[in-house]
Amino acid sequence: METHESIKRMFQLYVGKHFTRAGRAVFGKWLRAQQNQAEKEDALHQYWDESAGEISSDTWNEWNRLQERMGLSFYRGKRIRMRWMRYAAAIAIFVMTAGGTYWTTRELTLRQSTEMCEMFVPYGKTCELVLPDSSRVWVNTGSTLLYPSDFKQLDSRTVYLTGEASFQVSKNKEKPFIVKTSGLDVQALGTVFTVKSYAGEDFTEATLEEGSVKVSLKEGDNRSYILEPSDQLVYSHADGGVRMNRVDIALYKMARKGYLIFENVSFEQMILTLEKKYGVTFQYNATRYGKDLYNVKFAPDETIENVMEILHQLIGIQYIIKGKSIIVK
């Protein structure tokens, strides 16, 4: 059995980028393996606690990637937990490049150190929480939300999102509510909206249900947009393009109740969503299923077995389920 210290050393080597590409692949297999799950979780949390005082951009990035990987096996069926972290005067901000996600820091002038709370929701789970200002948040599967434990000492109510979340914001004209993601910032005064910005995906979405929001792009781009109810802004990380859609808001309300709803989505996008929802991985021929768009809805209590059988009946796909792996023929 691996010792606690040896496991922690593995995390240190990974975060420090001491592994080759092949080594990182082996590390990923080891991390997802069933052996020593509790020891791995404890070692990771201890490593984070010991390094939390010196938070670098690379550490933040690798921490989120490790949580996503561990969420596939460590947190399934367990109660979602809050983890508290203390910062001095620096808050991490997501930035997306062609090579992936990394973090930069922006100095904030605070009277005292700000305590931050991180909510990580593993694949296969969702979570609802109330922020210190009484704003309500629904956090979707495979998402991380970072927010201050108290907004009183801050000029704005700023939170940081990787993944997808819906916000019902309490009104406070003196302190604007801002959601920061890899590609854009979404600012609201009193409204209901959804932001989607998963690491590894090449787009960020902002969808407005009620009220109004201001969406500002990042990385030296001065463009900003005011959304009206049913507006959806889609920002492309690849080319910086912006697309505006009109959407059915009722679908977003159903999604918060656990429904999976696909309207005119590609097979790839549907599969990515199913992987997050059920904590599985798919193998399929992208060329064979790359041309069509799909429209289908799944109830909250559908199992992955039910989902696959429905897809078999609707579009004729053949599949094999092997544990957490699904092979589409």
Place of tokens 């297999």: 29
Looking at the structure, do residues 160 and 267 belong to the same domain, yes or no? no
pLDDT confidence of residue 99: 32
Give Cβ neighbours of residue 322 (< 8 Å, ≥ 6 apart).
Answer: none
Looking at the structure, do residues 229 and 263 belong to the same domain, yes or no? no
Mean pLDDT taken over the chain: 76
Question: End of a domain among 232, 256, 280?
Answer: 256
Question: End of a domain among 256, 289, 312?
Answer: 256
Looking at the structure, do residues 312 and 216 belong to the same domain, yes or no? no
Looking at the structure, do residues 94 and 216 belong to the same domain, yes or no? yes
pLDDT at 114 over 90: no
Looking at the structure, do residues 160 and 185 belong to the same domain, yes or no? yes
CA distance 145 to 137: 10
CA distance 21 to 18: 10
Looking at the structure, do residues 53 and 39 belong to the same domain, yes or no? yes
Q: Tell me the pairing of strands 203-210 and 192-197.
A: antiparallel
- Beta strand extents in 2-99 (DSSP E only): 82-86, 90-97
- Total tally of structural domains belonging to the chain: 3
Mean pLDDT of 216-229: 86
pLDDT confidence of residue 243: 94
CA distance 196 to 181: 9
Looking at the structure, do residues 63 and 184 belong to the same domain, yes or no? no
Q: What's 139's domain CATH number?
A: 2.60.120.1440
Q: What's 267's domain CATH number?
A: 3.55.50.30
pLDDT confidence of residue 24: 57
Looking at the structure, do residues 127 and 243 belong to the same domain, yes or no? yes
pTM given for the model: 0.64
CA distance 324 to 305: 11
Looking at the structure, do residues 216 and 110 belong to the same domain, yes or no? yes
- Backbone phi and psi for residue 207, each to the nearest 5 degrees, phi listed first: -125, 130
pLDDT confidence of residue 318: 92
Give Cβ neighbours of residue 136 (< 8 Å, ≥ 6 apart).
Answer: 128, 129, 130, 167, 168
Looking at the structure, do residues 296 and 168 belong to the same domain, yes or no? no
Share above pLDDT 70 across residues of the chain, in percent, rounded to a whole number: 65
Looking at the structure, do residues 115 and 214 belong to the same domain, yes or no? yes
76-108 confidence digits (pLDDT tens): 333 333 333 333 223 333 333 333 333 343 433
Identify the DSSP state of 243: E
Residue 240 domain boundaries: 87-256
Looking at the structure, do residues 108 and 248 belong to the same domain, yes or no? yes
